[in-house]
Amino acid sequence: MAQVSIVIPTFNEADSIDPLLTRLYELDLPEDFEIIVVDDNSSDGTPAKVRAWEKRANVRLIERREKPGLTRSILAGAAAARGDIIVVMDAGLSHPPERLPALIAPILAGSCDIAIGSRYVAGGSTEGEPLPRRWLSRLANWLARPLCDVNDATSGYFAFRRELTATIAEPAHGHALLLELLMAGQGKLRVVEVPIRFRHRTHGTHRTHGTSKLSVRPQWTYLQRLITLAGGTVPAGAAGRFAAVGLLSVAIDALLFQFLMSRGSGLALAHITSFFTAAAVNYS
């Protein structure tokens, strides 16, 4: 049995899949690791490139013909995995493969159940990401943090023990599988956040399997799912107020951070001050 299974969902990633797999095979990983590429009906030749890898490496291709969806693709890969540890990562080179050994190390050591490649802890960062997308990400994480107590609950780069897939509720969808795992654990899981440098993708299509992450629909779907995971349904008006408070907190955090940095404050002091100020507003 493979010790580590790396699940990579793809949708039109012909430009990036070869560089990604090459970089993964250059890493110092357990010898029995496997890579499972789950393709959602790409039209650019991605499956053909993965089939070429199947002939020379421990790479498997799953071609889905069902309703497209990022979470559905990841769960299909997890169901086919042979490893005790499952790693999920993006195919577009946004997630640094070189951080994978650090990501799986605490799970291999038995010290945690989920390891998150985090943009929002000390040492983590984002590069080249458009401001609207960055703000949406910060807002989504601000809304999720009171429920799961992690900084980057919307990360698409994470590792977990395979048996945890059985805890995910059937309606899970969208691009927040990590949040589903965290909430299913009901606060009992051991979680660690490993800093990563997230790079805005330059390959492939920045889409959530057919839907832009900047469009209204995935954001509204995320908000509805977050409310459901929190324990119930909330009228649209209340949901809007919930989102507005989160957005205000994100704005305060970002603006105060920029102001303090412009005044010569150190990075750590700026982060801590802006975070706690925004948190006070959020919970008041």
Q: Which two tokens stand for residue 207?
A: 């889409």
Bridging pattern class, strands 158-161 and 114-118:
antiparallel
**Number of domains the chain contains:** 2
Q: Which of 84-98, 122-136, 213-227 has the lowest mean pLDDT?
A: 213-227
Comparing 42-51, 154-163, 217-226, the range with the smallest average pLDDT is: 217-226
The tokens describing 277, both together, are 């100020």
Could you give the CA distance from residue 138 to residue 58 in angstroms, rounded to a whole number? 37
- pLDDT at residue 211, as a whole number: 45
DSSP code of residue 37:
E
Question: CA 205 → CA 81, 197, 213, 268, distances in Å?
Answer: 26, 20, 11, 35
Structure confidence by residue, pLDDT tens digits, 235-248:
455 455 555 555 56
Determine, yes or no, domain membership for 254.
Answer: yes
Q: Do 184 and 241 lie in a common domain? A: no
**pLDDT over 60 (residue 143):** yes
Residues 151 and 84 both lie in one domain: yes
pLDDT above 70: percentage of residues in the chain: 71
If one compares 76 and 253, the residue with the highest pLDDT of the two is: 76
Q: Is residue 268 part of a domain?
A: yes
Residue 40 banded pLDDT, cuts 50, 70, 90: very high
Q: Which domain holds residue 275?
A: 234-284
User: Which among 188, 215, 242 is the end of a domain?
Assistant: 215
Element spanning 261, H or E: helix 236-262
- Residue scoring higher pLDDT (95 or 183): 95
Average model confidence (pLDDT) for the chain?
A: 82
Share of the chain above pLDDT 90, in %: 49
Kindly list the distances between the CA atom of residue 282 and the CA atoms of 145, 180, 241, 244, in Å, as whole numbers in the listed order. Answer: 11, 23, 12, 10
How far CA 281 is from CA of 134, 137, 148, in Å, comes to: 20, 19, 19
- Per DSSP, the residues of 95-154 read S-GGGHHHHHHHHHTTS-SEEEEESSSTT-EEES--HHHHHHHHHHHHHHHHHH--S-TT
Let me know whether 256 and 127 are in one domain: no
Residues 6 or more apart whose Cβ sits within 8 Å of residue 58: 2, 33, 34, 35
Helices 17-25 and 46-54: angle between axes, nearest 10 degrees = 30
**pLDDT of 213 above 60:** no
Instruction: List the Cα angle 201/205/211 in 5-degree steps.
Output: 120
Last residue of a domain, one of 215, 247, 262: 215
pLDDT (tens digit, 9 = 90+) per residue, 152-196?
999 999 999 999 988 886 655 555 789 889 988 878 899 999 999
Is the pLDDT assigned to residue 48 strictly greater than 80? yes
Residue 228 resides in a domain: no
- Residue 198 is assigned to a structural domain of this protein: yes
DSSP letter at 175 equals: S
